Structure 1
Amino acid sequence: MISPKERDDMSHQQTSPFMVAQDLSAVSTLSMGVSVPILSAFGQPLAILPTSLLSTQTEEFGTPAKIELSDFLPRALQHWQEQQIQISGALTGYLGSNRIIDQLAEVITRHPRNLIVVDPVMGDQGSLYPQLPSDYPEHMRKFIRAADVIVPNLTEAQFLTGLSTNQINTVDQILPLLNALQKLLKPQAHAVITGIVLSNKVGCAWINDNGQVQFVGRPILSGHFYGSGDVFASLLTGYLLNEEPLPQAIRLATSRTFIALQETSQSDIPRKFGIRLTKLINDIASYTSRD
Protein backbone atom coordinates (compact mmCIF):
# COMPACT_ATOMS: atom_id res chain seq x y z
CA MET A 1 0.00 0.00 0.00
CA ILE A 2 1.26 3.49 -0.87
CA SER A 3 1.75 5.69 2.19
CA PRO A 4 0.42 9.27 2.25
CA LYS A 5 3.99 10.60 2.03
CA GLU A 6 4.78 8.41 -1.00
CA ARG A 7 1.54 9.56 -2.63
CA ASP A 8 2.50 13.19 -2.03
CA ASP A 9 5.99 12.57 -3.45
CA MET A 10 4.52 10.99 -6.59
CA SER A 11 2.09 13.87 -7.02
CA HIS A 12 4.93 16.36 -6.62
CA GLN A 13 7.03 14.61 -9.29
CA GLN A 14 4.11 14.64 -11.73
CA THR A 15 3.15 18.31 -11.22
CA SER A 16 6.46 20.06 -10.50
CA PRO A 17 7.74 21.64 -13.71
CA PHE A 18 10.90 20.44 -15.39
CA MET A 19 13.25 23.31 -16.23
CA VAL A 20 14.58 23.92 -19.74
CA ALA A 21 17.44 26.43 -19.79
CA GLN A 22 18.98 27.41 -23.12
CA ASP A 23 18.86 30.07 -25.81
CA LEU A 24 15.68 30.99 -27.67
CA SER A 25 15.82 31.90 -31.35
CA ALA A 26 12.87 33.86 -32.75
CA VAL A 27 13.49 32.27 -36.17
CA SER A 28 14.56 28.64 -36.76
CA THR A 29 13.36 25.51 -34.98
CA LEU A 30 16.31 24.63 -32.78
CA SER A 31 17.50 25.03 -29.18
CA MET A 32 14.51 25.89 -26.99
CA GLY A 33 12.36 25.90 -30.12
CA VAL A 34 12.65 22.10 -30.27
CA SER A 35 13.07 21.29 -26.57
CA VAL A 36 9.76 22.81 -25.53
CA PRO A 37 7.51 21.07 -28.09
CA ILE A 38 9.29 17.73 -27.69
CA LEU A 39 9.12 17.66 -23.90
CA SER A 40 5.56 19.01 -23.99
CA ALA A 41 4.63 16.13 -26.31
CA PHE A 42 5.83 13.77 -23.58
CA GLY A 43 3.25 15.43 -21.30
CA GLN A 44 5.91 17.12 -19.20
CA PRO A 45 5.01 20.39 -17.41
CA LEU A 46 7.84 22.84 -18.06
CA ALA A 47 9.54 25.86 -16.54
CA ILE A 48 11.16 27.69 -19.43
CA LEU A 49 14.28 29.71 -18.65
CA PRO A 50 15.77 31.34 -21.77
CA THR A 51 19.42 32.22 -21.30
CA SER A 52 19.50 34.57 -24.30
CA LEU A 53 17.10 35.84 -26.96
CA LEU A 54 18.17 35.93 -30.59
CA SER A 55 16.36 37.28 -33.63
CA THR A 56 17.55 34.27 -35.64
CA GLN A 57 19.97 31.41 -35.24
CA THR A 58 23.61 32.44 -35.50
CA GLU A 59 24.40 30.94 -38.93
CA GLU A 60 23.19 31.84 -42.43
CA PHE A 61 21.20 34.89 -41.33
CA GLY A 62 24.01 37.35 -40.78
CA THR A 63 24.57 38.70 -37.26
CA PRO A 64 21.39 38.33 -35.20
CA ALA A 65 20.07 40.78 -32.65
CA LYS A 66 20.81 39.27 -29.24
CA ILE A 67 20.00 39.95 -25.60
CA GLU A 68 21.85 38.01 -22.92
CA LEU A 69 19.54 37.31 -19.96
CA SER A 70 21.90 36.90 -17.01
CA ASP A 71 20.07 39.75 -15.23
CA PHE A 72 16.68 38.13 -15.86
CA LEU A 73 17.62 34.66 -14.60
CA PRO A 74 18.01 35.42 -10.87
CA ARG A 75 14.83 37.52 -10.91
CA ALA A 76 12.85 34.70 -12.53
CA LEU A 77 14.28 32.13 -10.15
CA GLN A 78 13.53 34.36 -7.17
CA HIS A 79 9.93 34.76 -8.33
CA TRP A 80 9.55 31.01 -8.73
CA GLN A 81 10.86 30.54 -5.21
CA GLU A 82 8.41 33.13 -3.83
CA GLN A 83 5.55 31.31 -5.55
CA GLN A 84 6.80 27.95 -4.24
CA ILE A 85 7.38 26.64 -7.76
CA GLN A 86 9.73 23.71 -7.20
CA ILE A 87 11.71 22.45 -10.16
CA SER A 88 11.75 18.66 -10.58
CA GLY A 89 14.85 18.56 -12.78
CA ALA A 90 16.53 20.32 -15.69
CA LEU A 91 17.75 20.11 -19.26
CA THR A 92 20.39 22.70 -20.14
CA GLY A 93 21.67 23.54 -23.59
CA TYR A 94 23.56 26.56 -24.89
CA LEU A 95 24.20 28.90 -21.94
CA GLY A 96 26.62 31.32 -23.55
CA SER A 97 28.41 32.95 -20.61
CA ASN A 98 30.33 31.97 -17.51
CA ARG A 99 27.99 34.08 -15.41
CA ILE A 100 24.94 32.13 -16.54
CA ILE A 101 26.70 28.79 -15.98
CA ASP A 102 27.52 29.82 -12.42
CA GLN A 103 23.98 31.10 -11.80
CA LEU A 104 22.42 27.82 -12.92
CA ALA A 105 25.00 25.75 -11.05
CA GLU A 106 23.93 27.43 -7.82
CA VAL A 107 20.26 26.65 -8.49
CA ILE A 108 20.77 23.05 -9.56
CA THR A 109 23.10 22.13 -6.71
CA ARG A 110 21.02 23.86 -4.03
CA HIS A 111 18.47 21.05 -3.82
CA PRO A 112 18.45 17.44 -5.06
CA ARG A 113 16.69 17.01 -8.41
CA ASN A 114 15.22 13.95 -10.08
CA LEU A 115 17.09 14.31 -13.38
CA ILE A 116 19.71 16.75 -14.68
CA VAL A 117 20.69 16.46 -18.35
CA VAL A 118 23.45 18.77 -19.59
CA ASP A 119 24.22 19.37 -23.22
CA PRO A 120 27.50 21.30 -22.81
CA VAL A 121 27.12 23.25 -26.05
CA MET A 122 30.35 25.14 -26.72
CA GLY A 123 32.01 24.00 -29.93
CA ASP A 124 32.21 21.82 -33.01
CA GLN A 125 34.67 20.71 -35.68
CA GLY A 126 37.55 21.01 -33.21
CA SER A 127 36.96 24.66 -32.27
CA LEU A 128 35.29 26.57 -29.46
CA TYR A 129 32.43 28.75 -30.67
CA PRO A 130 33.99 32.19 -31.32
CA GLN A 131 31.67 34.18 -29.04
CA LEU A 132 32.62 32.16 -25.95
CA PRO A 133 35.43 33.09 -23.51
CA SER A 134 38.52 30.89 -23.48
CA ASP A 135 37.81 29.70 -19.92
CA TYR A 136 34.25 28.64 -20.75
CA PRO A 137 35.20 24.91 -20.77
CA GLU A 138 36.58 25.28 -17.23
CA HIS A 139 33.27 26.64 -15.97
CA MET A 140 31.35 23.96 -17.85
CA ARG A 141 33.63 21.29 -16.38
CA LYS A 142 32.52 22.35 -12.90
CA PHE A 143 28.88 22.62 -13.97
CA ILE A 144 28.61 19.03 -15.21
CA ARG A 145 29.47 17.68 -11.74
CA ALA A 146 25.78 18.05 -10.90
CA ALA A 147 24.60 16.25 -14.05
CA ASP A 148 23.11 12.78 -14.24
CA VAL A 149 23.69 12.60 -18.00
CA ILE A 150 25.83 14.75 -20.29
CA VAL A 151 25.66 14.68 -24.09
CA PRO A 152 28.73 16.44 -25.53
CA ASN A 153 29.75 16.09 -29.14
CA LEU A 154 33.29 14.95 -29.89
CA THR A 155 34.73 18.49 -29.83
CA GLU A 156 33.02 19.33 -26.55
CA ALA A 157 34.21 16.07 -25.00
CA GLN A 158 37.77 17.03 -25.93
CA PHE A 159 37.44 20.50 -24.41
CA LEU A 160 36.00 19.05 -21.20
CA THR A 161 38.72 16.43 -20.78
CA GLY A 162 41.71 18.14 -22.37
CA LEU A 163 42.31 15.04 -24.48
CA SER A 164 43.01 15.17 -28.19
CA THR A 165 41.46 12.41 -30.26
CA ASN A 166 42.41 11.49 -33.77
CA GLN A 167 39.81 10.36 -36.26
CA ILE A 168 37.57 7.69 -34.75
CA ASN A 169 37.66 4.49 -36.79
CA THR A 170 36.65 1.90 -34.20
CA VAL A 171 34.43 1.82 -31.13
CA ASP A 172 37.39 1.04 -28.87
CA GLN A 173 39.09 4.32 -29.82
CA ILE A 174 36.31 6.20 -28.01
CA LEU A 175 36.92 4.45 -24.68
CA PRO A 176 39.74 6.72 -23.32
CA LEU A 177 37.65 9.81 -23.97
CA LEU A 178 34.56 8.32 -22.35
CA ASN A 179 36.58 7.16 -19.34
CA ALA A 180 38.00 10.66 -18.93
CA LEU A 181 34.50 12.16 -19.07
CA GLN A 182 33.20 9.69 -16.49
CA LYS A 183 35.91 10.82 -14.06
CA LEU A 184 34.51 14.36 -14.25
CA LEU A 185 31.04 13.19 -13.22
CA LYS A 186 29.50 12.11 -9.94
CA PRO A 187 29.05 8.37 -9.29
CA GLN A 188 26.24 6.75 -11.30
CA ALA A 189 26.21 9.62 -13.84
CA HIS A 190 26.74 8.90 -17.53
CA ALA A 191 28.48 10.52 -20.48
CA VAL A 192 27.07 10.02 -23.96
CA ILE A 193 29.18 11.37 -26.84
CA THR A 194 27.09 12.41 -29.84
CA GLY A 195 27.94 12.89 -33.50
CA ILE A 196 30.23 9.85 -33.73
CA VAL A 197 30.67 8.58 -37.30
CA LEU A 198 31.39 4.86 -37.70
CA SER A 199 30.74 2.52 -40.64
CA ASN A 200 28.73 5.08 -42.62
CA LYS A 201 26.49 5.73 -39.64
CA VAL A 202 26.29 8.70 -37.28
CA GLY A 203 25.23 8.23 -33.69
CA CYS A 204 26.42 8.22 -30.12
CA ALA A 205 28.60 6.17 -27.80
CA TRP A 206 28.58 5.45 -24.08
CA ILE A 207 30.00 2.95 -21.59
CA ASN A 208 27.67 0.15 -20.52
CA ASP A 209 27.49 -1.47 -17.09
CA ASN A 210 30.19 -3.95 -18.12
CA GLY A 211 32.67 -1.19 -18.93
CA GLN A 212 32.35 -1.68 -22.69
CA VAL A 213 31.69 1.00 -25.29
CA GLN A 214 28.29 0.84 -26.92
CA PHE A 215 27.49 2.60 -30.20
CA VAL A 216 24.14 3.18 -31.83
CA GLY A 217 23.74 5.04 -35.11
CA ARG A 218 21.62 5.66 -38.16
CA PRO A 219 22.52 6.22 -41.83
CA ILE A 220 24.19 9.53 -42.62
CA LEU A 221 21.96 12.00 -44.42
CA SER A 222 23.55 14.60 -46.69
CA GLY A 223 23.93 18.19 -45.59
CA HIS A 224 23.91 19.95 -42.25
CA PHE A 225 20.97 19.89 -39.85
CA TYR A 226 20.73 22.86 -37.49
CA GLY A 227 19.34 21.73 -34.16
CA SER A 228 19.84 17.97 -34.49
CA GLY A 229 21.76 17.84 -31.20
CA ASP A 230 18.98 19.77 -29.47
CA VAL A 231 16.44 17.24 -30.74
CA PHE A 232 18.50 14.31 -29.46
CA ALA A 233 19.06 15.85 -26.01
CA SER A 234 15.36 16.65 -25.67
CA LEU A 235 14.28 13.18 -26.75
CA LEU A 236 16.75 11.49 -24.44
CA THR A 237 15.45 13.61 -21.56
CA GLY A 238 11.85 12.79 -22.42
CA TYR A 239 12.44 9.04 -22.48
CA LEU A 240 14.43 9.15 -19.24
CA LEU A 241 11.60 11.08 -17.58
CA ASN A 242 9.33 8.27 -18.74
CA GLU A 243 11.58 5.85 -16.84
CA GLU A 244 13.22 4.19 -19.82
CA PRO A 245 16.60 2.66 -18.89
CA LEU A 246 19.49 4.72 -20.25
CA PRO A 247 20.50 2.30 -23.05
CA GLN A 248 16.91 2.08 -24.29
CA ALA A 249 16.44 5.85 -23.96
CA ILE A 250 19.58 6.41 -26.07
CA ARG A 251 18.38 3.99 -28.75
CA LEU A 252 14.92 5.55 -28.85
CA ALA A 253 16.34 9.08 -28.96
CA THR A 254 18.70 8.14 -31.79
CA SER A 255 16.05 6.46 -33.93
CA ARG A 256 13.51 9.25 -33.33
CA THR A 257 16.05 11.97 -34.11
CA PHE A 258 16.52 10.22 -37.44
CA ILE A 259 12.76 10.52 -38.06
CA ALA A 260 13.02 14.30 -37.68
CA LEU A 261 16.13 14.50 -39.87
CA GLN A 262 14.47 12.47 -42.59
CA GLU A 263 11.44 14.75 -42.60
CA THR A 264 13.73 17.80 -42.68
CA SER A 265 15.78 16.38 -45.56
CA GLN A 266 12.60 15.79 -47.59
CA SER A 267 11.19 19.26 -46.90
CA ASP A 268 11.33 22.18 -49.33
CA ILE A 269 11.93 24.56 -46.41
CA PRO A 270 15.61 25.68 -46.31
CA ARG A 271 17.71 23.91 -43.67
CA LYS A 272 18.59 27.19 -41.95
CA PHE A 273 15.03 27.30 -40.59
CA GLY A 274 15.76 24.30 -38.41
CA ILE A 275 14.26 20.85 -37.86
CA ARG A 276 10.81 19.65 -39.00
CA LEU A 277 9.01 18.08 -36.05
CA THR A 278 5.58 16.96 -37.30
CA LYS A 279 6.31 13.24 -37.71
CA LEU A 280 8.40 13.17 -34.54
CA ILE A 281 5.66 14.75 -32.42
CA ASN A 282 3.16 12.22 -33.81
CA ASP A 283 5.54 9.41 -32.89
CA ILE A 284 5.91 10.72 -29.33
CA ALA A 285 2.11 10.95 -29.06
CA SER A 286 1.88 7.27 -30.01
CA TYR A 287 4.55 6.42 -27.44
CA THR A 288 2.86 8.31 -24.59
CA SER A 289 -0.58 6.83 -25.38
CA ARG A 290 0.65 3.22 -25.30
CA ASP A 291 -0.81 0.83 -22.72
Structure 2
Amino acid sequence: MKYQKKMALVNDITGYGRCSIAVELPIISALKVQACVLPTAILSVHTGFPTYYIDDYTDRMKPYIQSWKDNKLEFDGIMTGFLGSAGQIDIVLDFIGDFKTDHTKVIVDPVMGDNGRLYPSYTEELCRDMRRLLARADVLTPNLTEACRLLDIPYPEGGVVDTSQLQAMAEALSAKGPSQIVLTGIHIGSDIGNYIYERGDASELQTARKVGSDRSGTGDVFAAVVGGLLVQGRSLSYAVREAAAFISKAMTYTEELQLPTNCGLAFEEVLTELS
Protein backbone atom coordinates (compact mmCIF):
# COMPACT_ATOMS: atom_id res chain seq x y z
CA MET A 1 0.00 0.00 0.00
CA LYS A 2 1.31 3.43 -0.94
CA TYR A 3 1.79 5.95 1.84
CA GLN A 4 2.21 9.73 1.61
CA LYS A 5 4.40 11.21 4.31
CA LYS A 6 3.31 14.23 6.34
CA MET A 7 5.28 17.06 7.90
CA ALA A 8 4.09 19.56 10.51
CA LEU A 9 5.39 23.09 9.87
CA VAL A 10 5.61 25.14 13.06
CA ASN A 11 6.27 28.59 11.65
CA ASP A 12 4.72 31.96 10.86
CA ILE A 13 2.44 32.83 7.96
CA THR A 14 3.68 35.94 6.15
CA GLY A 15 1.53 37.44 3.44
CA TYR A 16 4.25 39.07 1.33
CA GLY A 17 7.99 38.63 1.02
CA ARG A 18 8.49 34.92 0.28
CA CYS A 19 9.53 33.51 3.64
CA SER A 20 8.46 30.96 6.27
CA ILE A 21 5.36 28.91 5.44
CA ALA A 22 4.77 30.87 2.22
CA VAL A 23 7.82 29.12 0.75
CA GLU A 24 7.90 25.95 2.86
CA LEU A 25 4.41 24.75 1.96
CA PRO A 26 4.82 24.77 -1.86
CA ILE A 27 8.37 23.39 -1.72
CA ILE A 28 7.51 20.51 0.60
CA SER A 29 4.38 19.79 -1.43
CA ALA A 30 6.50 19.68 -4.61
CA LEU A 31 8.63 17.04 -2.86
CA LYS A 32 5.43 14.98 -2.51
CA VAL A 33 5.21 15.38 1.26
CA GLN A 34 1.97 16.68 2.77
CA ALA A 35 2.62 20.00 4.53
CA CYS A 36 0.51 20.63 7.66
CA VAL A 37 0.62 24.17 9.04
CA LEU A 38 0.81 25.12 12.73
CA PRO A 39 1.01 28.96 12.80
CA THR A 40 3.15 30.75 15.38
CA ALA A 41 2.29 34.25 14.12
CA ILE A 42 0.67 36.00 11.18
CA LEU A 43 2.54 38.86 9.53
CA SER A 44 1.51 41.19 6.74
CA VAL A 45 5.11 41.34 5.44
CA HIS A 46 8.27 39.96 7.02
CA THR A 47 10.40 41.96 9.44
CA GLY A 48 12.83 43.00 6.71
CA PHE A 49 10.31 45.62 5.56
CA PRO A 50 10.24 49.12 7.13
CA THR A 51 6.89 48.46 8.83
CA TYR A 52 4.88 45.31 9.38
CA TYR A 53 1.78 44.01 11.13
CA ILE A 54 2.26 40.97 13.36
CA ASP A 55 -0.37 38.92 15.18
CA ASP A 56 1.22 36.71 17.83
CA TYR A 57 -0.55 33.34 17.72
CA THR A 58 0.61 32.06 21.13
CA ASP A 59 -2.82 32.04 22.79
CA ARG A 60 -4.36 30.13 19.89
CA MET A 61 -1.71 27.44 19.48
CA LYS A 62 -2.83 25.17 22.35
CA PRO A 63 -6.48 24.73 21.21
CA TYR A 64 -5.23 24.37 17.63
CA ILE A 65 -2.86 21.58 18.68
CA GLN A 66 -5.55 19.97 20.82
CA SER A 67 -7.70 19.59 17.71
CA TRP A 68 -4.84 17.74 16.02
CA LYS A 69 -4.53 15.48 19.08
CA ASP A 70 -8.28 14.87 19.17
CA ASN A 71 -8.13 13.84 15.51
CA LYS A 72 -5.19 11.51 16.25
CA LEU A 73 -2.93 13.00 13.60
CA GLU A 74 0.56 11.62 13.08
CA PHE A 75 3.58 13.14 11.36
CA ASP A 76 6.73 11.78 9.74
CA GLY A 77 8.45 15.12 10.22
CA ILE A 78 8.17 18.19 12.43
CA MET A 79 9.99 21.35 11.39
CA THR A 80 10.11 24.45 13.57
CA GLY A 81 10.96 27.95 12.34
CA PHE A 82 10.05 31.46 13.48
CA LEU A 83 8.64 31.61 17.00
CA GLY A 84 6.71 34.72 17.97
CA SER A 85 7.26 34.74 21.73
CA ALA A 86 9.20 33.07 24.53
CA GLY A 87 5.93 31.49 25.68
CA GLN A 88 5.84 29.43 22.52
CA ILE A 89 8.92 27.43 23.50
CA ASP A 90 7.03 25.32 26.06
CA ILE A 91 4.13 24.90 23.63
CA VAL A 92 6.45 23.64 20.91
CA LEU A 93 8.30 21.34 23.32
CA ASP A 94 4.97 19.84 24.42
CA PHE A 95 3.90 19.52 20.78
CA ILE A 96 7.06 17.60 19.90
CA GLY A 97 6.60 15.40 22.99
CA ASP A 98 3.02 14.59 22.00
CA PHE A 99 3.59 13.97 18.29
CA LYS A 100 7.14 12.63 17.93
CA THR A 101 7.28 8.88 17.34
CA ASP A 102 10.14 6.54 16.46
CA HIS A 103 9.70 7.42 12.78
CA THR A 104 9.29 11.21 13.22
CA LYS A 105 12.26 13.41 12.30
CA VAL A 106 12.39 16.72 14.18
CA ILE A 107 14.14 19.54 12.31
CA VAL A 108 14.78 22.80 14.15
CA ASP A 109 15.55 25.84 12.03
CA PRO A 110 16.31 28.46 14.71
CA VAL A 111 15.17 31.59 12.88
CA MET A 112 16.80 34.25 15.06
CA GLY A 113 18.97 36.58 12.98
CA ASP A 114 21.68 36.98 10.37
CA ASN A 115 24.93 38.82 9.73
CA GLY A 116 25.64 39.02 13.45
CA ARG A 117 22.33 40.68 14.35
CA LEU A 118 19.03 39.46 15.78
CA TYR A 119 15.77 40.03 13.91
CA PRO A 120 13.75 42.96 15.36
CA SER A 121 11.08 40.76 16.96
CA TYR A 122 13.59 38.62 18.90
CA THR A 123 14.37 39.28 22.54
CA GLU A 124 17.31 38.00 24.56
CA GLU A 125 14.85 35.90 26.57
CA LEU A 126 13.57 34.21 23.43
CA CYS A 127 17.12 33.56 22.24
CA ARG A 128 18.02 31.92 25.55
CA ASP A 129 14.89 29.78 25.52
CA MET A 130 15.50 28.68 21.93
CA ARG A 131 18.40 26.61 23.28
CA ARG A 132 15.89 24.37 25.04
CA LEU A 133 14.59 23.12 21.69
CA LEU A 134 17.94 21.56 20.86
CA ALA A 135 17.36 18.70 23.28
CA ARG A 136 14.38 17.53 21.18
CA ALA A 137 15.90 18.09 17.74
CA ASP A 138 17.25 15.43 15.41
CA VAL A 139 18.47 17.99 12.88
CA LEU A 140 19.55 21.61 13.42
CA THR A 141 20.04 24.12 10.57
CA PRO A 142 21.39 27.42 12.00
CA ASN A 143 23.28 30.09 10.12
CA LEU A 144 26.47 31.42 11.70
CA THR A 145 24.67 34.15 13.67
CA GLU A 146 22.18 31.67 15.11
CA ALA A 147 24.86 29.10 15.92
CA CYS A 148 26.81 31.71 17.87
CA ARG A 149 23.70 32.80 19.77
CA LEU A 150 22.77 29.22 20.62
CA LEU A 151 26.28 28.61 21.94
CA ASP A 152 26.50 32.04 23.62
CA ILE A 153 29.79 32.86 21.90
CA PRO A 154 30.83 36.05 20.04
CA TYR A 155 30.06 36.38 16.35
CA PRO A 156 33.39 36.12 14.49
CA GLU A 157 34.74 39.35 13.02
CA GLY A 158 33.45 39.77 9.49
CA GLY A 159 31.68 36.41 9.72
CA VAL A 160 34.93 34.66 8.77
CA VAL A 161 35.48 31.14 10.14
CA ASP A 162 37.65 28.17 9.23
CA THR A 163 36.75 24.48 9.19
CA SER A 164 38.21 23.82 12.63
CA GLN A 165 35.93 26.51 14.10
CA LEU A 166 32.94 25.11 12.22
CA GLN A 167 33.74 21.61 13.50
CA ALA A 168 34.00 22.85 17.08
CA MET A 169 30.71 24.73 16.83
CA ALA A 170 28.92 21.75 15.28
CA GLU A 171 30.22 19.40 17.98
CA ALA A 172 29.15 21.79 20.72
CA LEU A 173 25.66 22.12 19.22
CA SER A 174 25.33 18.38 18.76
CA ALA A 175 26.26 17.84 22.42
CA LYS A 176 23.02 19.69 23.26
CA GLY A 177 20.87 17.15 21.39
CA PRO A 178 20.74 17.02 17.58
CA SER A 179 22.82 14.33 15.89
CA GLN A 180 22.81 16.13 12.53
CA ILE A 181 23.89 19.75 12.10
CA VAL A 182 24.06 21.98 9.04
CA LEU A 183 25.79 25.33 9.54
CA THR A 184 24.36 27.27 6.64
CA GLY A 185 25.32 30.23 4.47
CA ILE A 186 29.04 30.32 5.32
CA HIS A 187 30.77 32.99 3.23
CA ILE A 188 34.06 31.72 1.77
CA GLY A 189 35.47 34.34 -0.58
CA SER A 190 33.27 34.32 -3.69
CA ASP A 191 31.70 31.02 -2.62
CA ILE A 192 28.93 30.11 -0.21
CA GLY A 193 29.22 27.00 1.93
CA ASN A 194 27.21 24.66 4.15
CA TYR A 195 29.02 22.67 6.82
CA ILE A 196 27.50 19.23 7.44
CA TYR A 197 28.13 17.41 10.71
CA GLU A 198 26.75 13.99 11.57
CA ARG A 199 27.62 12.57 14.97
CA GLY A 200 29.91 9.58 14.60
CA ASP A 201 30.57 10.26 10.92
CA ALA A 202 32.90 12.40 8.84
CA SER A 203 32.07 16.09 8.47
CA GLU A 204 31.77 17.78 5.09
CA LEU A 205 31.96 21.35 3.79
CA GLN A 206 29.97 21.76 0.58
CA THR A 207 30.66 24.93 -1.38
CA ALA A 208 29.26 26.55 -4.51
CA ARG A 209 29.69 29.85 -6.32
CA LYS A 210 27.67 32.58 -4.64
CA VAL A 211 24.97 33.99 -6.91
CA GLY A 212 23.49 37.42 -6.26
CA SER A 213 23.11 39.09 -2.88
CA ASP A 214 21.73 37.94 0.48
CA ARG A 215 17.93 37.69 0.28
CA SER A 216 15.16 37.34 2.84
CA GLY A 217 13.68 33.86 3.12
CA THR A 218 16.66 32.01 1.62
CA GLY A 219 17.11 30.08 4.87
CA ASP A 220 13.45 29.04 4.79
CA VAL A 221 13.85 27.74 1.24
CA PHE A 222 16.96 25.83 2.29
CA ALA A 223 15.29 24.30 5.36
CA ALA A 224 12.21 23.30 3.36
CA VAL A 225 14.20 21.43 0.71
CA VAL A 226 16.41 19.74 3.29
CA GLY A 227 13.47 18.85 5.54
CA GLY A 228 11.34 17.48 2.72
CA LEU A 229 14.15 15.31 1.38
CA LEU A 230 15.07 14.00 4.83
CA VAL A 231 11.45 12.98 5.42
CA GLN A 232 11.59 11.26 2.02
CA GLY A 233 14.46 9.20 3.44
CA ARG A 234 17.35 10.87 1.59
CA SER A 235 20.76 11.40 3.19
CA LEU A 236 21.66 14.73 4.79
CA SER A 237 24.55 15.25 2.37
CA TYR A 238 22.27 14.72 -0.63
CA ALA A 239 19.56 16.97 0.82
CA VAL A 240 21.98 19.84 1.44
CA ARG A 241 23.47 19.56 -2.05
CA GLU A 242 20.02 19.60 -3.66
CA ALA A 243 18.92 22.56 -1.54
CA ALA A 244 22.00 24.57 -2.52
CA ALA A 245 21.50 23.75 -6.22
CA PHE A 246 17.83 24.73 -6.06
CA ILE A 247 18.64 28.05 -4.38
CA SER A 248 21.34 28.77 -6.97
CA LYS A 249 18.86 28.27 -9.82
CA ALA A 250 16.19 30.36 -8.11
CA MET A 251 18.72 33.08 -7.28
CA THR A 252 19.88 33.30 -10.90
CA TYR A 253 16.32 33.88 -12.09
CA THR A 254 15.60 36.31 -9.25
CA GLU A 255 18.63 38.43 -10.14
CA GLU A 256 17.44 38.57 -13.75
CA LEU A 257 14.16 40.04 -12.45
CA GLN A 258 16.14 42.60 -10.40
CA LEU A 259 13.82 42.11 -7.43
CA PRO A 260 14.51 44.00 -4.19
CA THR A 261 16.26 41.77 -1.65
CA ASN A 262 13.30 41.85 0.78
CA CYS A 263 11.11 40.26 -1.91
CA GLY A 264 12.99 36.99 -1.40
CA LEU A 265 13.66 34.29 -3.98
CA ALA A 266 11.50 33.86 -7.07
CA PHE A 267 11.56 30.11 -6.48
CA GLU A 268 8.28 29.53 -8.33
CA GLU A 269 10.09 29.48 -11.68
CA VAL A 270 12.14 26.39 -10.74
CA LEU A 271 9.70 24.69 -8.34
CA THR A 272 8.86 21.91 -10.79
CA GLU A 273 12.51 20.81 -10.81
CA LEU A 274 12.21 19.44 -7.27
CA SER A 275 11.49 15.73 -6.83
Q: Does 1:152 align with 2:130?
A: no
TM-score scaled by length of structure 1: 0.86
Which residue, 147, 163, 180 being the options, matches 1:171?
Answer: 163
Task: Give the equivalent residue in structure 2 for 1:73.
Answer: 61
The two structures, once aligned, show a CA RMSD in angstroms of: 2.0
State which of 183, 203, 210 in structure 2 corresponds to 1:220. Answer: 210
Of 157, 168, 180, the match for 1:190 = 180
Which residue of structure 1 lines up, in the alignment, with residue 47 of structure 2? 58
Q: What's the secondary structure of 2:67's corresponding residue?
A: helix
Contact 2:93 2:133 in 1 (8 A): yes
> CA–CA distance in 1 between the matches of 2:141 and 2:170?
11
Unaligned regions of 5+ residues in structure 2, if any? none
Q: What is the percent sequence identity of the aligned residues?
A: 27
Distance 2:199 2:55 in 1: 43
What is the distance in 2 between the residues matched to 1:263 and 1:135? 39
TM-superposed CA distance for 1:209, in Å, is 6.1
Counterpart among 237, 250, 254 of residue 240 in structure 2: 250
What's 2:25 paired with?
36
**Distance of aligned partners of 1:211 and 1:244 in 2 relative to their CA distance in 1, 3 Å threshold:** closer
Deviation by residue 1:201-238 (Cα, 9 ceiling, x = unmatched): 11210225665441112212232311110000000011
Q: Which residue of 2 aligns with 1:25?
A: 14
C-alpha deviations, 1:112-144, integer Å up to 9, x for none? 341111100112222222322212222111112
**Match status 1:49 vs 2:38:** yes
1: CA distance, partners of 2:127 / 2:258:
37
Structure 1's 119 and 209: CA in aligned 2 closer, same or farther, altered over 3 A? Answer: closer
Task: Give the 3-state SS of the residue equivalent to 1:87 in structure 2.
Answer: coil
- The 8 Å contact of residues 116 and 155 in structure 2, kept in 1 or not, is answered as no
- TM-score (normalizing by structure 2): 0.91
2: CA distance between counterparts of 1:277 and 1:162? 34
SS at match of 2:257: coil
**Partner residue of 1:206 out of 161, 174, 196:** 196
Give the Cα separation in 2 of the matches to 1:77 and 1:207. 32
Q: Which residue of 2 aligns with 1:132?
A: 122
1:168/1:213 CA distance change after superposition, 3 Å = farther
State the aligned residue count. Answer: 271
Which one has a bigger Cα radius of gyration? 1
Q: CA-to-partner distance for each residue in 1:36-63, whole Å, 9 max, x for gaps?
A: 0000111111211111111111123x22
Aligned-partner Cα distance in 2 for 1:190–1:151? 9
Question: Given the superposition, is the C-alpha separation of residues 76 and 93 from structure 1 closer, same or farther in structure 2, using an over 3 Å criterion?
Answer: same
Corresponding position of 2:265: 275
Whether the 8 Å CA contact 2:251–2:266 is kept in 1: the answer is yes
5+ residue gaps in structure 1? 1-6
- Compute the displacement of 1:153 (Å): 0.6
1:165 to partner: Cα distance: 5.1
